[in-house]
Chain A
Amino acid sequence: MLVVVCIKQVPDTTQVQIDPVTNTLVREGIPFIVNPYDTHALEEALRLKDRFGFRVAAISMGPPNAEATLKKALALGVDEAILLSDRAFGGADTLATSRVLSEAIDRLNRQEQVGIVICGKQTIDGDTAQVGPGIATRLGYTQLTLVDRVEKFDPFQGRITVRRKLEGRHETVEAPLPVLLTVVRELNRPRYPTVPMRLESEQATVQVWSNQELQLDQNGIGLKGSPTWVSRIFSPQREKGEIVGDGVADPAGAAHLLVDKLVSRDLLVV
């Protein structure tokens, strides 16, 4: 059985800066990382490999430099890494992205039966949470989102029981394979690559599949296959607040002014 993990290279959003003049994203010098949720997806796949000896393939759609992300996956122990990269895939929204990824998974499935696909619950740059479910629907796999625990997994019966993290409670569901899971951070603690593995991964090859391999209709992929478009990206503005009183020299006086302010706004009754 093959386990497939979908990963994405994303800008490290803790370091994202906005150009104050143009109010647009500054792209220079922002480091790229593996989408943090995807690292938990990778870890879960590797645990299945450790327990059952399944092979694990990591796939990613992105520009040629996303190869670095897949090398990291190889250093952690995935058996196969495939970069889906083609100019024709560029400018894709989530619908067009799930088209490419599901085709790649289908192609892998023809070589070795895919039992589980694991994705992070969302990416930290797009925040849409649509691609995982999109893949599941396209492939007809059972979709289990927001998984925070794999309760039971029986590859012989072909069934999996997971716990899903909902608002203020959990839900346990059971489903037949093949399944697609999207996972939350609470699921596991990702391992670090060992030094020998990291050195080895430097030499390992990341396969690159372009549309030459996938043969997808151009109308369903990239910009053309995308029913939504992003018109603008900007930083939400809020007026800077005023400083009330002198809280260092006169805390009581400042407290008095603050109370008055809250009372005048109907936020406090004294």
Chain B
Amino acid sequence: MKIEDTISRKPPASDPAASAAIDVAHLVKVYKATRAVDDVSFRIARGSITGLLGGNGAGKTTTIAMIMGLVLPTSGRIHVLGFPMPEQSAEVLGRMNFESPYVDMPMRLTVRQNLTIFGRLYAVRNLADRIDRLASDLDLRDFIDRANGKLSAGQKTRVALAKALINEPDLLLLDEPTASLDPDTADWVRQHLENYRKSHNATILLASHNMLEVERLCDRVIIMKRGKIEDDDSPDRIMARYNRDTLEEVFLDVARGRTRESAT
């Protein structure tokens, strides 16, 4: 039984939001007395990698969660792949995926079982082949039939990445994708993300505290502080504006309240 909807999957061509992978306008999220996200607007081009930077409590995770539809905004609007969220989330959820430290894969299930289940949820065709391919690309073969709970942190991250890529998403949302990984594994994951973007013309939005990662991966950086966008540009231009050699120095300037002018 599959009663498919008959609504067109193409967004209206006249809609300017349709050309962007993510279009966020005047986004606000208030939790009781806390303004976690405060009038945030940005548009992310298809095929780009954008880094969302900011200290703890800056509003990165809340922003990503609203884009994913896990958190409802207090006000503002979100378009993902041309469709308004969360109203038409059914149109896009199958074309996006995510990885986050806030969720786990079921621990008692083997890697293969987990990937099989998520592959079926995303209606992946030739699922066995897809899992084999991911196992090969992400080096999962040695532990594909081991329970997820028995894997090392690095192995779990690779499995989570495999789940995030199972449906070959057009849009990938990553929250701290290399947190708690050793430098070698982290570098390996970054390389894979870069390759995936190139091969699939995918859009990637990642929140990270790892400035080197953002410098290396991202075409564009959005810096958030206390729920607002503090800066938004390419890594090179942002570093030039703050007269700094690294994004880490820029991050510290922003975190410690040094303005662009006083930093220079």
> Does A pair with B?
no
* B-to-A contact residues, CB < 8 Å: none
Interface residue ranges, A against B (CB under 8 Å): none
